[in-house]
Each structure stands twice: as structure tokens, then as C-alpha cells.
């Protein structure tokens, strides 16, 4: 990735030795013959139509070349039979294939993930690669050299792609197709939005503030908006450790907006937890972006808005117990009109394995609900020995809740209604209601 950094500090961000980096490098040395590689619950692999390795979440792509060639042979065989392979079951594993132009993608899971879920994740992974290179560049490269090693162009972006794959496993945001928003007082959010609008320079198309994938506010043209999927990719990039210090100026393709060309993105953390993102069509506007950032920070520093925003961003999401609802393990609420959502943390008694199981259940039940045709299901009640999951949708919202299985249905409905009433009362603070536009 071509990144122009606006400070010497940014150039030294990778100078320190990081234990996590060492552990990650050890994982990169794994190959598919090793037990450590085989024991992973999920694998995501990308290769070219010629069988050249491009990406693997686990292991070293070069050491997986034999496996990649086998995957290419399977896909090509079915394609030659005019019956493209979509999925397979091998023992306890589900294999889902997705092809798009010169790229072949494969997801392998032993977590009982549905075909639809894995295919959606493969499509998002493909979009992340397109966001780095554009589909036009991908097509041109492989038309000229079918056996081109794409890793040459993706070098340095592995951390961004890895982070996306890891987040897809535990974060329901991507399945919801909506934006997670930071809970803050309405007047503060409105004050911040006005500062973005007042500081805008002509070349800025979009301006936004985010805190760990959560939207603070977004300024946009009145008649144009960015697709949530494109914003997920942008937020994922901005949350990468490569962007946490210094000023960054990088081209990025927004696949849903235009998958054939680049916009240019400025990223700078104006507080320890909050990143300012400016998007422009002008590749030569870095200095203007810097000036815009200075104007925004100066404006927000005239009162305590900058500090209050950092305070809101540094606070962790609510636990269900803080809502005064004993027995509630976790909850998501999706606002259909705004295409935004609010989620709590998991209750302290829920371990990591149960968290993943609950998120997986949310994902499966949402797909089931969405696929239910012209007369969609309104309520799905799913009970196991470890948790009860309630999925409920109306014309205005979708709700996903995990509840202690000992709670009876009447009590559960009564408590969920209490939560819905709280959300209605807090709506102005939970969501970006009146985003600034020009």
C-alpha cells in the first residue's frame, strides 16, 4: 500500500518489538501438514485462477502452495463441467467456495457455520482486497500475466486483512449490515458534527470520526451516501495498528461506490481513541486535509468537546447488568431506518466460547429470518441448555438477545420490553440522528 505519512513519528511506529508480532510470525510459519494449522476452527484462503497463493489467515501462503493448487484444480474441474462448485461437506467441516474474476476464495469451518454466512464473509474479504487494488487493476494484472504473484502488491496490508477475518468471527456488525455507533450525548454529537461542517474544505467529500469501529458522526454530500459495507472496510483499515500514530494519506477503493477507481483517505487520531477520517477525490489534497484537521481540532478545543468525545470513546460498551436487567446475557438492537445498531457487551459470566456460540446463533437466525420470503418471520425463539436466544423484528427494528435459559418466556418478554423502552428514550444519544450534510 502506498502511504504518505505526514510526520516522522509515523515512520517509526514499527520500530519497537511487539510480542504479538512474534506470535503472529510463528503462526505464519505453519503449513497444512502441522497439527496447529489443522486445529484452527476456521480458515480463509485466497488464490488466483492460476492457483497462485495470495492469502491465508493461518500459515504461510508459500508453504500452502500445494493445497492452493488442489483448490484451484477442484474449482476448475467443476467449472469445466458447467456446474460451479459452491460448497462441500468433509467430515465435520464445511467448505464454501466463491469466485470473482481472477480470484478464487475458500472458507473452511468446523463451527457449523451456514453456507450463506461463509459466502457473505468471503464476499467481504474479496471486497477488502478490491479496496486495496480496485477490480479494474486486478483484471488488468491477470489479463497480462495469469500467473502473477499478487502478494507483491498486497505486501504490508496483511494486518488489515487478518483483522477483518478475525472480527468477522466474533463481531455481529458485519452480518447486520449496519453501522455500530458510539453512545454519547446528543448535544455533544451535534456540536462535533457542526465542527466538521464548518471546517470543511472544498476537496473533502466525506468527513467522519470513529472510535474502534464505532461511528461518532459522519458528514456527507446531501444526495450521496456511502454503503455500510464500504464503511466497514474503511473503519477496519483505520482501526489497524499501522494507522494509530501519525498522519496517513492512502488511496482506497470503495467497492459499492465504484469498484474501478480510487478515492483518497486521510486518517489521523486526533485523540488517543478517536480517528478523524477525511475522504477526497483529489490525490494531491494532502496539505488541505492537514489544514482541515487542524481547523477541526482547534474548533473542538475551544470548549471541552474534544476531551468529552475522548471520554465517551474510552468508556467500554454497557454490560446488560448496567441496564438493570438480570438474566440478560447480551443484546443487539438494529435501527432499520438509520441502518445503525447498538450492542451491549456480554455479561461477565459468559466465557469466550459461549460468546462465539451466541454470535454464531445470531448470524444463523438472522439469515433464516431474512430468507423467510414475502411473509417474513417476526419472532424466533431458540433455546438450549446454556442460553436462550430471541430474535424479533418489526418494521422499525431488529432485536437479538441472549438470555439465561432458566428465565421463563413471560419474564423474558417483559424484560425485553423494558430494554426497548430504554432504547426509545435514549435513541437520540445511541444513534447518529441528524448527520451533517452539505
**What per-residue confidence (pLDDT) applies to 19?**
45
Among 204, 205, 240, residue whose Cα is nearest residue 226: 205
**What per-residue confidence (pLDDT) applies to 7?**
37
State the residue for C-alpha cell 472510535: 211
Core vs surface per residue 135-154: b (16+ CB within 10 A) or e:
bebbeebbeeeeebebbebb
Instruction: Name the pTM for this structure.
Output: 0.89
Dist CA 221 CA 437 (whole Å): 5
**What per-residue confidence (pLDDT) applies to 225?**
93
**What per-residue confidence (pLDDT) applies to 1?**
39
Dist CA 182 CA 69 (whole Å): 44
For the beta sheet containing 248-254, the strands, ordered from the edge strand earlier in sequence to the opposite edge, are 4-5, 248-254, 259-269, 275-280, 204-211, 214-219
* C-alpha triplet 134, 240, 236: angle, nearest 5°: 55
**What per-residue confidence (pLDDT) applies to 81?**
75
Length of the chain: 438
- Pairing mode of beta strands 103-109, 379-383: unpaired
**What per-residue confidence (pLDDT) applies to 28?**
52
Contact 390, 381 (CB under 8 A): yes
- Give me the average pLDDT of each 10-residue run along the chain (438 residues): 37 43 50 74 94 91 84 87 87 94 95 92 97 96 94 92 94 95 96 97 97 96 95 96 94 97 98 97 97 97 95 91 92 97 95 94 92 84 94 96 95 95 96 95
**What per-residue confidence (pLDDT) applies to 39?**
83
**Beta-bridge partners for 328:** 403
Among 121, 21, 104, residue whose Cα is nearest residue 69: 104
Amino acid at each position: 500500500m502506498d502511504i504518505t505519512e505526514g510526520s516522522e513519528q509515523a515512520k517509526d511506529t514499527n520500530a519497537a518489538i511487539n510480542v504479538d508480532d512474534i506470535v503472529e510470525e510463528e503462526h505464519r510459519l505453519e503449513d497444512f501438514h502441522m497439527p496447529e494449522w489443522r486445529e484452527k476452527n476456521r480458515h480463509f484462503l485466497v488464490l488466483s485462477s492460476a492457483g497462485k497463493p495470495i492469502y491465508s489467515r493461518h500459515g504461510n501462503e508459500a508453504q500452502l502452495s500445494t493445497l492452493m493448487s488442489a483448490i484451484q484444480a477442484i474449482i476448475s474441474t467443476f467449472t469445466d463441467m458447467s456446474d460451479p462448485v459452491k460448497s462441500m461437506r468433509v467430515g465435520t467441516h464445511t467448505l464454501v467456495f466463491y469466485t470473482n474474476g481472477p480470484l478464487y476464495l475458500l472458507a473452511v469451518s468446523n463451527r457449523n457455520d451456514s453456507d450463506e454466512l461463509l459466502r457473505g464473509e468471503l464476499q467481504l474479504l474479496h471486497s477488502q482486497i478490491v479496496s486495496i487494488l480496485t477490480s479494474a487493476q486486478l483484471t488488468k494484472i491477470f489479463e497480462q500475466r495469469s500467473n502473477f504473484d499478487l502478494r507483491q502488491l498486497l505486501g504490508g496490508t496483511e494486518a488489515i486483512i487478518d483483522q477483518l477475518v478475525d472480527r468477522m468471527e466474533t463481531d455481529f456488525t458485519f452480518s447486520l449490515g449496519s453501522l455500530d455507533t458510539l453512545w454519547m450525548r446528543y448535544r455533544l454529537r451535534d456540536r462535533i458534527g457542526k465542527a466538521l461542517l464548518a471546517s470543511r474544505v472544498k476537496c473533502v467529500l466525506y468527513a467522519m470520526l470513529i472510535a474502534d469501529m464505532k461511528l461518532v458522526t459522519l458528514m456527507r454530500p446531501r444526495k450521496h451516501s456511502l454503503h455500510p459495507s464500504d464503511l466497514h472496510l474503511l473503519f477496519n483499515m483505520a482501526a489497524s495498528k499501522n494507522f494509530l500514530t501519525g498522519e496517513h494519506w492512502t488511496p482506497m477503493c470503495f467497492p459499492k461506490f465504484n469498484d474501478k477507481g480510487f478515492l483518497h483517505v486521510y486518517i489521523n487520531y486526533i485523540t488517543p481513541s478517536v480517528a478523524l477520517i477525511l475522504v477526497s477525490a483529489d490525490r494531491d489534497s494532502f496539505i488541505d486535509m492537514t489544514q482541515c484537521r487542524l481547523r477541526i481540532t482547534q474548533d473542538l478545543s475551544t470548549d471541552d468537546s474534544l476531551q468529552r468525545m475522548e471520554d465517551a470513546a474510552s468508556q467500554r460498551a454497557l454490560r446488560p447488568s448496567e441496564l438493570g436487567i438480570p438474566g440478560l446475557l447480551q443484546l443487539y438492537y438494529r435501527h432499520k431506518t438509520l441502518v445503525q445498531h447498538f450492542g451491549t457487551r456480554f455479561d461477565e459470566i459468559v466465557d469466550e466460547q459461549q460468546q462465539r456460540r451466541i454470535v454464531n446463533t445470531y448470524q444463523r437466525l438472522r439469515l433464516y429470518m431474512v430468507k423467510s420470503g414475502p411473509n417474513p418471520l417476526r419472532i424466533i425463539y431458540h433455546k438450549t441448555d446454556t442460553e436462550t436466544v430471541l430474535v424479533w423484528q418489526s418494521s422499525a427494528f431488529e432485536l437479538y438477545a441472549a438470555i439465561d435459559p432458566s428465565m421463563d418466556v413471560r419474564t423474558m418478554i417483559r424484560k425485553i420490553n423494558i430494554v426497548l423502552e430504554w432504547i426509545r428514550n435514549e435513541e437520540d444519544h445511541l444513534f447518529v440522528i441528524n448527520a451533517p450534510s452539505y
